[in-house]
Amino acid sequence: MKRTLISGITGQDGSYLAESLLASGGEVHGIVRQSSLLQRTRLDSVPALAAARAEGRLRLHYADLSDSSSLQAVVRQVEPDALFHLAGQSHVKISFELPEYTADSTGLGTLRLLEAVRQGAPRCRFFLAATSEIFGEPVESPQSETTPLAPINPYAAAKVYALNLVRIYRRAHGLFACAGILFNHESPRRGENYVTRKIARAAARIAKGLETHVHLGTLVPRRDWGYAVDTVEGMQAILNAEAPDDYVLATGVTHSVEDFCAVAFRIVGRDFREHVILDSEYARPVDITETRGDPSKAYRELGWRARTPFEELVRLMVEAELRAL
Ligand code: NAP
Ligand code: F7E
Ligand 1 atom at shortest distance from the alpha carbon of 35: 47
Give the per-residue pLDDT at 38: 86
Predicted confidence (pLDDT) per residue in 49-87, tens digit: 999 999 999 999 999 999 999 999 999 999 999 999 999
pLDDT band, residue 9 (cuts 50/70/90)? very high
- Looking at residues 295-319, what average pLDDT do you find? 98
CB 287 within 8 A of CB 221: yes
- Looking at residues 108-123, what average pLDDT do you find? 98
Measured in Å, residue 54 CA sits from the centre of ligand 1 at: 24
Measured in Å, residue 273 CA sits from the centre of ligand 1 at: 32
pLDDT band, residue 37 (cuts 50/70/90)? confident
Letter string b/e over residues 276-292, b meaning 16 or more CB atoms within 10 A of that residue's CB? beeeeeeeeeeebebbb
Quick one: three-class SS letters along 200-250?
A: HHHHHHHHCCCCCCEEECCCCCEECCEEHHHHHHHHHHHHHCCCCCEEEEC
pLDDT band, residue 145 (cuts 50/70/90)? very high
Give the per-residue pLDDT at 310: 98
Q: State yes or no: pLDDT of 1 exceeds 70.
A: no
Question: Which stretches does DSSP call E strand in 79-190?
Answer: 82-85, 125-131, 177-182, 185-186
Rounded Cα distance between 292 and 271, Å, is: 27
**Per-residue CA distances from 296 to 66, 184, 248 (Å):** 36, 17, 8
Predicted confidence (pLDDT) per residue in 161-186, tens digit: 999 999 999 999 999 999 999 999 99
Q: State yes or no: pLDDT of 151 exceeds 80.
A: yes
Predicted confidence (pLDDT) per residue in 90-108, tens digit: 999 999 999 999 999 999 9
- Could you say which DSSP state residue 98 is in? S
Ligand 1 neighbours by CB, cut-off 6 Å? 8, 10-14, 31, 33, 35, 64-66, 86-90, 105, 129, 131, 182, 184-185, 191
Q: State yes or no: pLDDT of 131 exceeds 90.
A: yes
Ligand 1 atom at shortest distance from the alpha carbon of 184: 40
Secondary element (H or E) of residue 284: none
List residues with catalytic annotation.
131, 133, 155
Closest alpha carbon to 195 in 248, 272, 143, 134: 272
Measured in Å, residue 262 CA sits from the centre of ligand 1 at: 28
Give the per-residue pLDDT at 293: 98
Measured in Å, residue 304 CA sits from the centre of ligand 2 at: 25
Ligand 1, atom 34, lies closest to the CA of: 90
Ligand 2, atom 26, lies closest to the CA of: 131
295-301 long-range contacts, Cβ below 8 Å, gap at least 24?
295/247, 295/248, 295/249, 295/250, 295/251, 295/252, 296/144, 297/144, 297/145, 297/247, 297/248, 298/234, 298/237, 298/238, 298/247, 298/248, 298/249, 301/241, 301/245, 301/247
Give the per-residue pLDDT at 39: 86
Predicted confidence (pLDDT) per residue in 231-284, tens digit: 999 999 999 999 999 999 999 999 999 999 999 999 999 999 999 999 999 999
For the four alpha carbons of 316, 324, 260 and 196, in that order, the dihedral sign comes to: negative
Counting every residue, how long is the chain?
325
Question: Which stretches does DSSP call E strand in the chain?
Answer: 3-7, 27-32, 58-62, 82-85, 125-131, 177-182, 185-186, 214-216, 222-223, 226-227, 246-249, 255-256, 276-278
- Mean pLDDT, the chain, integer: 97
Torsional class of 119: left (φ above 0), alpha (ψ -120 to 50), beta (otherwise): alpha
Q: What whole-number percentage of the chain has pLDDT above 90?
A: 98
